[in-house]
């Protein structure tokens, strides 16, 4: 008998999911929402000079058993393992971050395309503070209210789609992507650049974010920010290593294996 790559019971406990584990749209949406509210986006291992490993065992160990977070290759990589264990057809795609502005970053954002009853759904748990809470159907035009944020897909030239978020009264493009399938080797190369290159934005900033039904919280370098459903934003600056560590544990459930200097 083949050994399962991921323990679904351990994963479900990690994301506090108590719904059905079936090959169904209900399960896809429920698991996506549960992970979005439980496993933070974070790049802190890069700043601890720890390697980012994308093999299944490393993803499960770090994100499930060590109760850490990760960036897109890790968060979507873990979710892909879960979905495949449940029998979903999952295709890996690559997007280009547009929110960062010009000059445009390379195409290097991992997203997933998941088929349910012959309908493709965009699945993405790795875009940080502006990312999806739930998957959305791969259909351009309709708006999708997800708690207090609103998203839509727009068709773009050259067979592209753009994911957009309604921000400050207007639609802002988050990233663009095509439907060309990517391979694990593609993400190994991207992961090496983003975790090792001095030009990588993830080596220049420490980023931790997590969503909740009524707010989104982020810690970027020393700035702790909470954006609430009513539009209010609360910010504070953490000037000591001890308060930084406390904020990580209190807001994101993260206990680091080492201390980051402030």
d(CA 146, CA 132): 8
**Distance, CA of 143 to CA of 165 (rounded, Å):** 9
pLDDT score of 1: 43
Question: Which residues are designated catalytic?
Answer: 72, 109, 124
Q: Who's near 75: CB < 8 A, 6+ residues apart? A: 35, 39, 41, 63, 69, 125, 126
The DSSP output letter for 60 is I
pLDDT given for residue 231 in this prediction: 87
CATH code: domain 8-252 is 3.30.2140.20
| Segments making up each domain of the chain, as ranges | 8-252
pLDDT of residue 35: 98
Measured distance CA(208)–CA(71) in Å, rounded: 9
Give alpha helix (H) positions in 3-159.
8-14, 25-36, 44-47, 56-59, 72-85
Residue 27 half-sphere exposure toward CB, CA atoms < 13 A: 18
Backbone angles phi, psi at 66, to 5 degrees: -85, -5
pLDDT at 116: 97
- pLDDT at residue 3, rounded to an integer: 63
Q: From CA 162, how far away is CA 135, in angstroms rounded?
A: 14
Q: How high is the mean pLDDT in each 10-residue block of the chain (262 residues)? A: 80 97 97 98 97 97 98 98 97 94 90 96 96 97 96 87 93 96 95 96 96 97 95 94 95 91 78
């Amino acid at each position: 008998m083949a050994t399962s790559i991921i323990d679904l019971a351990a994963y479900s406990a990690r994301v506090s999911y108590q719904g059905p584990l079936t090959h169904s749209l209900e399960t896809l949406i429920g698991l996506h929402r549960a992970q979005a509210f439980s496993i933070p986006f974070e790049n802190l291992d890069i700043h601890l000079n720890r390697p980012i490993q994308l093999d299944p065992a490393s993803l499960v160990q770090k994100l499930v058993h060590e109760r850490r977070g990760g960036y897109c290759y890790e968060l979507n990589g873990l979710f892909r393992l879960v979905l495949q264990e449940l029998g979903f057809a999952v295709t890996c795609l690559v997007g280009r971050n547009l929110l960062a502005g010009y000059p445009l970053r390379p195409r290097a954002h991992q997203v997933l395309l998941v088929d349910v009853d012959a309908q493709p759904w965009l699945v993405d748990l790795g875009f940080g503070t502006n990312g999806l809470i739930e998957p959305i159907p791969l259909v351009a035009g309709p708006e999708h209210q997800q708690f207090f944020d609103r998203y839509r897909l727009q068709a773009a030239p050259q067979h592209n789609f753009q994911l957009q978020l309604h921000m400050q009264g207007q639609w802002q493009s988050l990233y663009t992507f095509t439907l060309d399938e990517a391979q694990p080797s593609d993400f190994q190369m991207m992961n090496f650049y983003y975790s090792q290159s001095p030009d990588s934005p993830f080596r220049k900033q420490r980023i931790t974010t997590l969503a909740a039904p009524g707010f989104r919280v982020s810690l970027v370098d020393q700035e702790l920010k909470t954006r609430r459903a009513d539009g209010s934003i609360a910010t504070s600056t953490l000037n000591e290593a001890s308060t930084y560590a406390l904020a990580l544990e209190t807001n994101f459930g993260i206990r680091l294996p080492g201390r980051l200097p402030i």
